[in-house]
Amino acid sequence: EYILLSADVGATTTERILDELHDVVDEKLLRDRADVKDELKRIMVDILDENPKPEYEYPLVIMVSGVNGVGKTTAMGKLAKKFKKDGKSVLLVAADQLTVWAERAGVRIVKQAEGADPGSVVFDALASAKAKKDDVILIDTAGRLHNKKNLMDELGKISRIVAREMPEATYLNYIVLDATTGQNALSQVDVFNEAVDIDGIILTKLDGTAKGGVVLAIAGDLEVPVVYIGVGEGIDDLEDFDSEAFIDAIVD
C-alpha cells in the first residue's frame, strides 16, 4: 500500500489493486514474498494493458493537448524527430516557440500566430500537407485551461476541420501529462476528455523521482492508454510506453 500510494497510484485504485491481490493470495495460498510481488505486478500490468495503444496508418494526424508547463512543446519536438527517424515526412502545426524544435528535428512547421484563428491555420496546414504528401501532421493546441468553453470550442473546431479536410487520415488525440503533478493529472484528463475523445497519453518527466502511478488510476477510471513517456529534456528522450518495465520501476 505504501509503495502504491507513494507512486501516486491514488487511494481508490490502490484499494482495488490490493483487494484483488488479497483474493489471489488466498486463492493460490501464496506465502512467498516474491510470488506475492509477481502477482501484484501482474494485476497492475493487466490494468494498463486493458487499454491497448491506438493503431494507425498514414497519413496520420495527431492533435496534442495539455496544460502549460507539462512538457507539450518538448514532447512534440521529440515526436517529430521520432517519426522523421522512421523515414516519415512530418509537418508541425504549432505556435512560434516550436520553431526551434522543428529545426532540431529537421521537419517543416506551419506557424500559428498568437491570437490567430487556430481553425484557419489548421486548414492551411492540411492543404500544405496534402500538397507535399506528408505522412504525419502534428497539431499543437493552446494550453490555456482557464476557460473551458474556449478550450472545447478550439479542440472541437480543429477536430471537425481534420475530419472534413483529411477524411482518409488516421486521427488521434494525445494529451501530455506531467508525471510530477500526481493526482492532478487525473482532473486534467477529465477536462480534456469532455472536449474530445482522448486516444492516448504522453507521460513526461519520468526521469526524475516521480513514478507516474497516476496512469493506473487513469487507465482504470478513464480507459486511456499511455503511448509514450518522456525521460529527459533532449530530443531523443521519448520512449514507447512499456507497461511491464513501468510497473517494475514502481514495485521494485
Residues that bind ligand GDP (CB under 6 A): 66, 68-74, 143, 204-205, 207-208, 230-233, 237
In the complex, least distance from residue 46 CB atom to ligand GDP, rounded to whole angstroms: 26
Q: Shortest approach of ligand GDP to residue 72 CB, angstroms?
A: 3
**Closest CB to ligand GDP belongs to which residue?**
230
User: Which of 249, 252, 200, 207 lies closest to 228, judged by CA?
Assistant: 200
- Tell me how many helices (H) and strands (E) the chain has: 10, 8
Q: Give min distance, CB of 67 to ligand GDP, in A.
A: 7
Q: How far apart are CA 252 and CA 249, in angstroms?
A: 6
Least CB distance to ligand GDP at residue 248 (A): 19
Q: Which of 111, 123, 112 is nearest to 158 (CA)?
A: 123
Q: At which residue does the C-alpha cell 515526436 appear?
A: 79
Q: Tell me the three cell numbers of residue 59.
A: 497519413
Residue 80 CB, nearest distance to ligand GDP (Å)?
13
Do 92 and 110 meet the contact criterion of CB atoms below 8 Å apart? Answer: yes
Q: Identify any residues that bridge with 178 across adjacent strands, giving them in sequence order.
A: 204
- Looking at the Cβ atoms of 76 and 250, the one nearer to ligand GDP is 76
Return the number of the residue (30 or 249) whose C-beta is nearest ligand GDP. Answer: 249
DSSP one-letter string for 10-53: -HHHHHHHHHHHHHHHHHHT---HHHHHHHHHHHHHHHHHTSPP
Closest to ligand GDP by CB, 221 vs 237, is: 237
Kindly state the cell numbers that stand for 43. 494485476
- Closest to ligand GDP by CB, 65 or 243: 65
In the complex, least distance from residue 211 CB atom to ligand GDP, rounded to whole angstroms: 14
Nearer to ligand GDP, 156 or 234 (CB): 234
Of the pair 17, 185, the CB lying nearest ligand GDP is at: 185
Instruction: Give the closest residue to 219 by CA, choosing from 29, 46, 4.
Output: 46
**What separation in angstroms does the CA of 243 have from each of 27, 48, 93, 172, 216?**
25, 7, 30, 21, 10
CB of 206 to ligand GDP, least distance (A): 7
Q: Which is nearer to ligand GDP, 47 or 238 (CB)?
A: 238
